[in-house]
Amino acid sequence: MWAFMICILMSTYNGERFLAAQIQSLIDQSYDRWKLLVRDDGSSDRTCELLAGFAAEDPRIQILDAHNNLGAADSFLSLVAAAGDADYYAFCDQDDVWDTDKLLRSRDAIVDYARRPALYCSGVLRVDDNLNPLGSTRACARGPSFANALLQNIAIGCSILVNRTAFKLIRSRLPEPGHIFMHDWWCYQLVAASGHVVYDPRPSLAYRQHAANAVGERAGLHFWLNRYRLFRKHLGDNRRTAHLCEFERCWGGALSAANRELLSRFMELLTEKRLLRRFALLLKTPVQRQTGLDSLLCRVLLLLGYYR
């Protein structure tokens, strides 16, 4: 089979502690036809020095000349805008360790979808700072869908690979800076609405869980109780609603009639002030998370107006 080129997009920020292990796991990939494009988001530690060292040793590694702090989502979107031509594109965090067959498995999973936008994502093995296992992500029992993507992101960014068709679609209409919650959720929503998403439950990397994570894995009753407390404390925090408003602005008119109606009803639900009207909209809006408990608890928060 033809050896397709994969462009890996990495954003770094004060990542000197774990960066070497991550880049080494890229170098150790069984699939070696890749290039790495890195953007540093304003590090104040030795991250840039380490990147320069790796780039000097491996011509596949290229560093963007940009050091202003944009935040994780906008930094990755800057990489999307700057990336050159490739057959596939992968997102990469600075502090994980990839399985040696990650790129090969990812590519093989969507190689037959060249004419459609396609996105691969996988489960991850959660580990602590020292790579001690904490458990794997749960299986996605209901599978990928646009109805799921409106409520939940199952596409952990560091596990994502998209084909050229999906990448061109993503890049054709990028959101305004500062308007989205996370880049991986945006990509999952767009491809789920317009193409094909493959979720692989088998972990493809060791995913460090520590205080510096931009976003960690979240699910279950403890997560929802914590989210309720946070929303009570920060009632003005509506980042998820703002993200969906931006998605509707960029892509609402390009969706299928069914997905456009689903998005419109969900946006109405998020912004409706009247309790009885929210209840009526909930009954008509078939959005869902991957488990029955998560879906139920999310619907309770939606009804109470706390899912923002």
Mind listing the pLDDT tens digit of every residue in the chain (308 residues)?
A: 457 999 999 999 999 999 999 999 999 999 999 999 999 999 999 999 999 999 999 999 999 987 799 999 999 999 999 999 999 999 999 999 999 999 999 999 999 999 999 999 999 999 999 999 999 988 899 999 999 999 999 999 999 999 999 999 999 999 999 999 999 999 999 999 999 999 999 999 999 987 555 544 444 556 556 656 655 554 456 888 999 999 999 999 999 999 999 999 999 999 999 999 999 999 999 999 999 988 988 898 899 887 76
Per DSSP, which regions of the chain are E strands?
6-12, 34-40, 61-63, 88-92, 97-98, 118-122, 125-127, 133-136, 161-163, 196-200, 205-208
Can you give the residue ranges of every domain in the chain?
6-208, 220-304
Q: Which two three-digit tokens encode residue 259?
A: 């997905």
Query: What's 37's DSSP letter?
Result: E
pLDDT at 297: 86
The CATH code that applies to domain 6-208 is 3.90.550.10
Query: ∠ CA(54), CA(57), CA(62), 5° rounding?
Result: 60
